[in-house]
Amino acid sequence: MEIIKDVKVISSKGNSKILTNDIMITADKIVYNKSKFEIRAFDNVKVLSKNLKGEFIEIYGDRANYNMNTQNGKVLGDQICLKYFTEIFFPSFTLYTKNFFFDTKTKTFSVYGNVEILTSTIKIYSDNGIFTEKSHSMMFTKNVKKPVAIINYNNKSVYYEADKMFFYYAENQKRMVMSGSVYAKIEMV
């Protein structure tokens, strides 16, 4: 690892890692601007964070920015992968997208561009989504295409398509609400 320091900027190349109170970032190259409290990471980026219950969230992408003052960040790349290990939500899920924005203070994240969420029983496809951990909710809205959810359970496959989809995943209140133009199809196996 090569570290280059000046008065305001620290750069690290090769197997780089930076740890804040909220997250850990590893990448091939990390640049930390001390005066702006800004971290920029490039190539083979991994952001590791925890949710409110201390469960791990891993985000992989090509590059990332994080501001330690605002606690806002973004991960960008051709295909960003998020792995969310949780007991509350689906057993765990993997998310793929093009743009990922997160706020470690409010525990929210937004995703844009070819969003795909996979679990053992559910698949969700959308243009965008907003996840709010404090209210245990996810919202998907129509931008170009309507959000789609495919749910498999008890030898049934249910296909939903709607202008808006809301998923609430609190431990005692798991539910899905759809609004606008809604279409559903149930297949029994």
Element counts in the chain: helices (H) and strands (E): 0, 13
Strand duo 72-85 + 173-188: pairing: unpaired
Specify the pLDDT at position 83: 83
Specify the pLDDT at position 36: 93
Q: Convert the pLDDT of each residue in 7-61 to its tens digit.
A: 688 899 999 999 888 899 999 999 999 999 999 999 999 999 877 777 778 899 9
Tokens of 5: 């320091």
Ranges of residues in the chain with a pLDDT under 50 are none
Full set of structural domains in the chain with CATH: 2-188 (2.60.450.10)
Strand duo 137-141 + 148-153: pairing: unpaired
Q: What is the C-alpha to C-alpha distance for residues 75 and 41, in angstroms, rounded to an integer?
A: 9
Is-contact 160 184, C-beta < 8 A? Answer: yes
Q: What is the length of the chain? A: 189
Specify the pLDDT at position 166: 92
DSSP string of 64-116? EEEETTTTEEEEEEEEEEEEEE-SSSSSEEEEEEEEEEEETTTTEEEEEEEEE
Specify the pLDDT at position 69: 92
